[in-house]
Structure 1
Amino acid sequence: MKKLSLAVAVTGVLGLGVMAGAHAANNGKLIFNGTLTNISCAVAPGTGVSPGNPGEINVDMGNVSFSDIGLSGASRFETATPIQMLVNCSAGADQYSTVKMRFAARNGSGLDNNDAKLLRTTGAADGVGIGLLNASNKLMDLSGTETIDTDLVLNGTGGATAEINFGAVYVLNGTTTNPGNADGFMPFVLDYE
């Protein structure tokens, strides 16, 4: 937000210099909408992941040979790393039944340039992206709006728990391969319905 404010301030100063001899005004309106809830939930790592810095979950993809992975249509997901996220809601969950995990690949390391279903990797490795497998072991399209939906288990006192299970796997993107580190990052959001 600070970058936006600075950019607006700089644009405003430049605009004053250009409009020194003219008087002009533009009018507009900002409309904000939102909802506040009483739900209070925390997310913790489960099987296959470990805690990192606050708000970060580390997934160790391991050392994988290019010969053990395939293209997105090849369904070669034997090397997938299982991931489990544990959701614990302490209050306000009694009006919700589902938690939906959505991903923002574009706000992370980005979508792969050669296969937009995949997360772009950073590091020296070439020819590969990172794919996510939903609970049905199907490759998700990270360029779309797919979510991983899990039932909330209510505890009768306004709290609830859920286990979100999915996987991460390296997938060939159809370009020349080159070994090395193949890292990536991607924000996620949990929506309660």
Structure 2
Amino acid sequence: MAFHHPLQVFGFHSCDREVGLAILNGEMDLNASNNAWDWLGGGIYFWEQNPGRALSYAEECAEKKQYFAGEIKTPFVLGAIINLGNCLNLLEAESAPVLESAHDGLVQTTAKAELKMPVNKNANRALDCAVIQYLHQSNIDNAIPAYDTIRSSFDEGEKVYAGSVFTKRLHIEVCVINPAMILGYYLPRPIKRYNPYLRAIHKV
């Protein structure tokens, strides 16, 4: 349980326009991602307070420049109001020992099974995903309340300038495990800025 995170955040999801509009119209829901490279484990991923990055990621997926299990033909940014609930907030110091303990448990379990530990390689965060998934299972086994969400920063991209520790794509991601924490969806404004491909749907 995190101690100091905000109760609610605005999240932005990168998706295909048809999917985004269907969700806004109440015709479907977002599906959880369950890929081996999902660094925060299984769940629905959002960019926190960052619709611009959500758009650029959707564009990169449409151009096949990113790991993406689905298909994005027309980039779209879907806004969401998220209640963090019981959040594993990795921005808090108290969360580091939780991850460390989960990693130790995964190492022991893997060794007993005579298997190799997963590793992170470039954009494939197999190790991080395995640690998070082990943590979820450990909570179940020990009757510990399940996490609703996971929140963490992600250091990404080139340095802003030579010698800097700042990167051009540093951001915060929220992984929603319990979909009931998503209170609602909306179309972020200004629309032309964050959904520049929206008008194409009106063309004959």
TM-score bin (small chain): under 0.3
Task: Report which structure shows greater RCO (CA 8 Å, sep ≥6).
Answer: 2
> Which structure has the bigger radius of gyration?
1
Q: Please identify which structure carries the higher helix content.
A: 2
